[in-house]
Chains A and B, each alone.
Chain A
Amino acid sequence: MGEKVLMKGNEAVAEAAIRAGCRHYFAYPITPQSELIEYMAKMMPKVNGTFLQAESEVAAINMVYGAAGCGKRVMTSSSSPGISLKMEGISYIAGANLPAVIVNVQRGGPGLGDIQPAQGDYFQATKGGGHGDYKLIVVAPSTVQEFADMADLAFDLADKYRNPVMILSDGLLGQMMEPVDFKPYKTEKEMEELDRQHFDWCMHPNQDEPNHHHHEINSLEIDPVVLEQHVIKLGQKYDRIVKNEIRFEEYKISEDNEYIIVAFGTAARIAKSAVDDLNENGINVGLFRPITLWPYPYDAVSKVITDKVKKVLVCELNLGQMVEDVKLGVNGKVPVEFLGKVGGMLFTPEEIMNKIKEI
Chain B
Amino acid sequence: MEIIAQRPKSLTDLQFTYCPGCTHGISHRLIAEAIEELGLRNNIMGVAPVGCSVFAYKFFNCDMAEAAHGRAPAVATGMKRARPDMHVFTYQGDGDLAAIGTAEFIHAANRGEKISIFFINNAIYGMTGGQMAPTTLPGMKTSTSPYGRDEKDIGYPIQACEIISSLKAPYFIERVSLLSPQDILKAKKVVNKAMLFNKENRGFTFVEFVSTCPTNWGLTPAKAQQWAKENMLKFFPIGNFRDKSMEGGE
A residues whose Cβ falls under 8 Å from a Cβ of B = 24, 26, 50, 52, 54-56, 58-60, 62-72, 74, 88-89, 92, 96, 203-209, 214-220
Q: Determine whether the beta carbon of A69 is less than 8 Å from that of B107.
A: no
Q: Determine whether the beta carbon of A56 is less than 8 Å from that of B103.
A: yes
- Selected A-B contacts with CB under 8 Å, 11 pairs: A26-B77, A56-B103, A58-B71, A58-B103, A59-B104, A62-B74, A66-B77, A203-B64, A214-B62, A216-B64, A218-B64
| Cα–Cα distance between A56 and B77 once the two chains are bound (Å) | 13
* Chain A residues within an 8 Å CB radius of B80: 66
* Chain B residues within an 8 Å CB radius of A88: 68
Q: Determine whether the beta carbon of B74 is less than 8 Å from that of A54.
A: yes
Q: Is B118's CB within 8 Å of the partner chain A?
A: no
Q: Determine whether the beta carbon of A26 is less than 8 Å from that of B78.
A: yes
CB proximity of B43 to chain A, nearest CB, Å: 6
CB proximity of A75 to chain B, nearest CB, Å: 12
Q: Determine whether the beta carbon of B78 is less than 8 Å from that of A69.
A: yes
Contact of B74 among A63, A208, A218, A219 (CB under 8 A): A63
Which 5 residue pairs spanning A and B have beta carbons closest together? Answer: A66-B78, A62-B74, A63-B78, A70-B82, A55-B107
Q: Is B66's CB within 8 Å of the partner chain A?
A: yes
B47-104 CB contacts (< 8 Å) to partner A: 47, 54, 57-58, 61-68, 71, 74-83, 86, 103-104
* Chain A residues within an 8 Å CB radius of B83: 70, 203-204
Do A24 and B66 form a contact, CB below 8 Å, given A59-B103, A70-B83, A208-B41?
Answer: no
Q: Determine whether the beta carbon of B43 is less than 8 Å from that of A66.
A: no
Q: Determine whether the beta carbon of A66 is less than 8 Å from that of B57.
A: no
Do A66 and B62 form a contact, CB below 8 Å, given A55-B107, A59-B107, A89-B71?
Answer: no
Q: Determine whether the beta carbon of B78 is less than 8 Å from that of A205.
A: no
- A56, closest chain B residue (CB): B103
Q: Is B226's CB within 8 Å of the partner chain A?
A: no
| Cα–Cα distance between A172 and B32 once the two chains are bound (Å) | 52
* Chain A residues within an 8 Å CB radius of B64: 203, 214-218
Q: Determine whether the beta carbon of A65 is less than 8 Å from that of B67.
A: yes
Q: Determine whether the beta carbon of A62 is less than 8 Å from that of B66.
A: no
Give the one of A59, A88, A209, A220 with max B CB within 10 A.
A59
Do A203 and B104 form a contact, CB below 8 Å, given A59-B74, A65-B65?
Answer: no
Q: Determine whether the beta carbon of B68 is less than 8 Å from that of A89.
A: yes
* Chain B residues within an 8 Å CB radius of A67: 78-79, 81-82
| Cα–Cα distance between A205 and B62 once the two chains are bound (Å) | 6
Contact of A216 among B58, B71, B104 (CB under 8 A): B58
| Cα–Cα distance between A50 and B114 once the two chains are bound (Å) | 14
Q: Determine whether the beta carbon of A203 is less than 8 Å from that of B63.
A: yes
Q: Determine whether the beta carbon of B54 is less than 8 Å from that of A55.
A: no
* Chain B residues within an 8 Å CB radius of A72: 82
Q: A24-B82, A66-B65 are in contact. List 9 more A-B contacts (CB 8 A).
A: A55-B104, A56-B103, A58-B103, A59-B74, A59-B103, A63-B77, A66-B78, A203-B83, A216-B66
Q: Determine whether the beta carbon of A62 is less than 8 Å from that of B57.
A: no
Q: Is B187's CB within 8 Å of the partner chain A?
A: no
Q: Determine whether the beta carbon of A214 is less than 8 Å from that of B71.
A: no
Q: Is B42's CB within 8 Å of the partner chain A?
A: yes
Q: Determine whether the beta carbon of A55 is less than 8 Å from that of B81.
A: no
CB proximity of A302 to chain B, nearest CB, Å: 39
* Chain B residues within an 8 Å CB radius of A208: 41-42
- B10, closest chain A residue (CB): A207
Q: Determine whether the beta carbon of A69 is less than 8 Å from that of B103.
A: no
| Cα–Cα distance between A218 and B104 once the two chains are bound (Å) | 19
- A54, closest chain B residue (CB): B74
Give the one of A50, A65, A205 with max B CB within 10 A.
A205
* Chain B residues within an 8 Å CB radius of A65: 65, 67-68, 71, 74-75, 78
CB proximity of B163 to chain A, nearest CB, Å: 15
Q: Determine whether the beta carbon of A203 is less than 8 Å from that of B68.
A: no
| Cα–Cα distance between A65 and B73 once the two chains are bound (Å) | 11
Q: Determine whether the beta carbon of A59 is less than 8 Å from that of B66.
A: no
* Chain A residues within an 8 Å CB radius of B74: 54, 58-60, 62-63, 65-66
| Cα–Cα distance between A195 and B47 once the two chains are bound (Å) | 21
CB proximity of B166 to chain A, nearest CB, Å: 16
| Cα–Cα distance between A71 and B78 once the two chains are bound (Å) | 11
CB proximity of A117 to chain B, nearest CB, Å: 30
Q: Is B44's CB within 8 Å of the partner chain A?
A: yes
Q: Determine whether the beta carbon of B65 is less than 8 Å from that of A218.
A: yes
CB proximity of B169 to chain A, nearest CB, Å: 13
Q: Determine whether the beta carbon of A52 is less than 8 Å from that of B45.
A: no
Q: Determine whether the beta carbon of A205 is less than 8 Å from that of B43.
A: yes
* Chain B residues within an 8 Å CB radius of A24: 78, 81-82
Q: Is B216's CB within 8 Å of the partner chain A?
A: no
Q: Determine whether the beta carbon of A219 is less than 8 Å from that of B66.
A: yes
Do A206 and B42 form a contact, CB below 8 Å, given A65-B65, A215-B63, A216-B63?
Answer: yes
Binary A-proximity of B173-215 (CB < 8 A = 1, otherwise 0): 0000000000000000000000000000000000000000000
Do A92 and B103 form a contact, CB below 8 Å, given A205-B43, A205-B45, A215-B63?
Answer: no
| Cα–Cα distance between A203 and B66 once the two chains are bound (Å) | 12
Q: Is B159's CB within 8 Å of the partner chain A?
A: no
Give the one of B54, B58, B68, B75 with max A CB within 10 A.
B75
Q: Determine whether the beta carbon of B63 is less than 8 Å from that of A214.
A: yes
Q: Is B145's CB within 8 Å of the partner chain A?
A: no
* Chain B residues within an 8 Å CB radius of A96: 66
| Cα–Cα distance between A155 and B163 once the two chains are bound (Å) | 40
* Chain A residues within an 8 Å CB radius of B165: none
Contact of A206 among B43, B78, B103 (CB under 8 A): B43
